[in-house]
Amino acid sequence: MKKNIAIVGSTGSIGKTLLSLVNNKNYKIVFLAANRNYRNLLSQAVKYRVKNLIIIDPVSYSKALKFKKNKTIKIYNSFEYLNKIIKKKLDYVMSSFSGINGLEPTYKLIKHTKTIAIANKESIICAWPLLKKELKKHKTKFIPVDSEHFSIWSDIKYAETKNIKKIFLTASGGPLLKLDSNQLKNINRSIVLNHPTWKMGKKISIDSATMMNKCFEVMEAKNIFEIDYKKIKILVHPSSYVHAIVQYNNGIFKLIAHDTTMKIPIFNTINSGNELYNEINILNLKKLNNLDFQPIDRNKFPVLRLLKLLPNKHSMFETIIVSINDIIVQKYLDGKIQFNDISKLILKFIKSKEYQRFKYIYPKNINQIMTLKMKINHRISNIIS
């Protein structure tokens, strides 16, 4: 029997990778969703025989209606139409919209699927208590997609948190690992965007270069695995072959390794474990013999200081951090600030009394999170013009 699935963010790297792993024989794609890339989305619909599409951007939605040639394809402009599109609970949904705009569709889709794989880290960081409550209410299985979190999840899903002594998240160090602080002052943007081991978009490439992406992953791990921040550590591992290390109280360390490709975690989110991964996949002895783990240099990556500012209890402060980072990275991409300014400005804003007070405010609903995000964007955009 075919699995009924849906992919939110099908024109992005995660969505494209997932589509390369599915076929019309074993899967029926009930709908695909994208933000702006309507041409790619329509091509995917034809190739995979998808009858329902969601396009969020109003301009792209209008263009898609005019561009569409296949009359059997229905195009919607909102996730409010999910009840019309989905007739019975799906078997699997991939939620891979980037940014905090992926939060609302992620939340809405939980009740419509038996399993949801979430690649949208902002959802897990900003709204985990709300998502967790919804998952429990609708008995929906959750699988993390990030290579680090999938690796940990695949190892400890049957273990109790109390038996875990430490979790080590590995970081490649990005393109700036071998440069000293002085070399970062006027560094060319092309170098910052040239990640040595992963192919990523501009935003996440910059987050990797500053190490903010690893801060986000620490926050995700704390939420997903219900473990204190003090038990989560970061190790630099340039080859990105080992994705996580779990240390147990019984003295055992487990290293979870796989090739540097998102195909492996994505393949395992949609398959039960009995299917064969057909890509060339051999044990890389060269990498195993040269793991080269290193402590992280917090002077080179000052944004890591924010980890000491995080409250153990979930709050709106996580939304503050995500929002501030988003707008400051965009200012860098727009040429308004230098690379070294990114971490300085993030820490400056986060430490202000105006934003520290959000550590004591608990998120009650998705709208509250999205409203705060818009306010932060507006305020900081006016300050850094």
Q: Are 125 and 118 in contact (CB under 8 A)?
A: no
pLDDT tens digits, 205-227: 899 999 999 999 999 999 999 99
Paired with 243 in beta bridges are: none
Two tokens at 249? 């109280």
Indicate if 8 and 106 belong to the same structural domain: yes
274 pLDDT tier (thresholds 50, 70, 90)? low
Q: Is 298's pLDDT higher than 90?
A: no
Indicate if 42 and 67 belong to the same structural domain: yes
Strand 92-95's sheet: what is its strand order? 74-76, 52-55, 27-34, 3-8, 92-95, 115-118, 141-144
Number of domains in the chain: 3
What is the 3 state secondary structure string of 47-107?
A: HCCCCEEEECCHHHHHHHHHHCCCCCCEEECCHHHHHHHCCCCECEEEECCCCHHHHHHHH
CATH code of residue 93: 3.40.50.720
Instruction: Give me the percent of the chain exceeding a pLDDT of 70.
Output: 99
Rounded to 5 degrees, what are φ and ψ at 250? -85, 10
Closest alpha carbon to 215 in 103, 297, 306, 309 = 306
Indicate if 134 and 182 belong to the same structural domain: no
Q: Is 321's pLDDT higher than 90?
A: yes
Q: Is 157's pLDDT higher than 70?
A: yes
Indicate whether 220 belongs to any domain: no
Rounded to 5 degrees, what are φ and ψ at 199? -95, 115
Indicate if 289 and 307 belong to the same structural domain: no
Indicate whether 301 belongs to any domain: yes
Two tokens at 248? 């147990």
Indicate if 287 and 327 belong to the same structural domain: no
Q: Is 158's pLDDT higher than 90?
A: no
pLDDT of residue 309: 94
Indicate if 352 and 381 belong to the same structural domain: yes
* pTM of structure: 0.93
